[in-house]
Amino acid sequence: MTTSTSAPTLVILAAGLGSRYGDVKQIAGVGPDGEWLLEYAVHDALAAGFAQIVMVIRAELRDVLAERLAPRIDGRADLRFIEQTFDNVPSGCRAPIGRKKPLGTGHALWCCAPWLTGPFAVVNADDYYGRHAFGLLEAHFHRQRNPAMVGYRLDATLSPHGGVNRGVCRIDPHGHLQDVTEYLDIADRDGALSGTAPDGTREPLTQDTVVSLNCWGLTPALLPDLERGLREFLARAGASDEYFLPHAIATHLAAHGETLSVLSTNDTWLGLTYPDDRARVVNAIAALHASHAYPTPLWSHA
């Protein structure tokens, strides 16, 4: 299939280890036919008009991902798998010796840069972003070419089984992102939401706070700065440091005085952060199928 140069690409980051979940959550069955969360992202992106799917993976996942996804996507979009490895770094660089965990989401996106020639979305493999996220991004790129992100209400992104980490967004009156601050261990405790700020203090948060779930709409203009930041990161990185995509995006925006549009949605996030999250996700996905938001099985009408 020939990919349209104007239709966006979906990049799915699927190389993470999922240490808190304790299993390979990228391929955890949650749908009525054992569908994975990332399949819903692919399904919704195709419905919104995306024309290429690029998945950043670990080598051991290639066969199972290809066997399941290739027949469903064939004829509808290009499908490409890119392995995130320690030797896949810019020329003249090397990963820290003894490294065990991936180098981070910024490195993951850099790995597939040669195939990103037009606008593209970036999402995590273990998150469900709602039916409308990719339609919002596709419509945004029809109107303009500045980057964007889908913003979620904080209370729609929590887990009842433990604290979550979220990028808390500050937005200007024009709907542009001013900054993202990473808060850790966000949870409802004693009837009040709070999270740990970067300085280590516990701060209150409101239910309608807009947060980033790494659902980005980006353009190739980011890529030179992404590599520059990766080179700087590798020059000083320790055995457990990560090159995070939100930091790379913020650095790029600041360097060029560029704006990033925040596209708000009322969809509810679903994700597999903790093992006990799976039952809740399965029930929520089943309800979406029961309401005919999705066909059953998911690809039966593909």
What are 86-127's pLDDT values in tens digits?
999 999 999 998 888 899 999 999 999 999 999 999 999 999
Distance CA 298, CA 35 (A): 7
Is 72 a residue whose pLDDT tops 60? yes
Closest CA to 223 of 139, 104, 82, 107: 107
Tokens of 167: 């990028």
Is 2 a residue whose pLDDT tops 60? no
What are 178-221's pLDDT values in tens digits?
988 889 999 988 889 999 998 999 999 999 999 999 999 999 99
pTM: 0.92
Please report whether residue 1 resides in a domain. no
Distance CA 103, CA 233 (A): 10
Sign, CA dihedral 13-233-254-156, equals positive
Please report whether residue 128 resides in a domain. yes
Please report whether residue 39 resides in a domain. yes
Specify the 3-state DSSP secondary structure of 217. strand
Instruction: Bin 185: left if φ > 0, else alpha if -120 < ψ < 50, else beta.
Output: left
Please report, for the domain that includes residue 146, its CATH number.
3.90.550.10
Please report whether residue 56 resides in a domain. yes
**HEC string for 102-147:** CCCHHHHHHHCHHHCCCCEEEEECCEECCCCHHHHHHHHHHHCCCC
Full domain range(s) for residue 75: 9-290
What is the CA angle 229-92-15, rounded to 5? 60
What are 232-277's pLDDT values in tens digits?
999 999 888 999 998 899 999 999 999 999 999 989 899 887 888 8
Fill in the amino acid letter for 120.
F
Distance CA 249, CA 261 (A): 13
Q: How many domains does the chain have?
A: 1
Please report whether residue 242 resides in a domain. yes
Please report whether residue 296 resides in a domain. no
The confidence score (pLDDT) of residue 1 equals 43
Q: What are phi and psi of 259, to 5 degrees?
A: -100, 155
Beta strand 127-128 with 270-271: parallel, antiparallel or unpaired? antiparallel
